[in-house]
Amino acid sequence: MTLKHVANNSKTKKAVLLENNGNATVDNSLQVSVVDFNYQVSKKDLGNTFIVDRDHGKTILDSFSIGLTWTSEDTLQIDYDKKLRTFTQVNNINGVTIIYKPR
């Protein structure tokens, strides 16, 4: 499920925050994908940039757990709750540099 998306100023790229529902053995996760602006995200898409979960209940998962801010046309800043457990953290994808800021 898409929680939010943020486009760069020229609307060539966008960052999408997705929530992936887990099951009995896998916790829910938040996932960020950086994609072309016109790409339509589907329920089957997984995050290609940043994937986290709540680390066995140490924090909550919601649309405020991760912030997405374009600082330039090709630089995305991701600020996130430092209690989140990180599985994937890519620094460059699709020509976009990613800056991470735990809070």
In 14-69, which residue ranges form alpha helices assigned H by DSSP?
none
Domain positions in the chain: 2-102
What pLDDT is attached to residue 23? 66
pLDDT one-digit tens code per residue, 28-58? 899 999 999 999 998 888 899 999 999 989 9
Structure confidence at residue 97 as a pLDDT band (50, 70, 90): very high
> Is 94 within 8 Å of 39 (Cβ atoms)?
no
In 1-103, which residue ranges form alpha helices assigned H by DSSP?
none
d(CA 85, CA 43): 22
Tokens, residue 71 = 């600082």
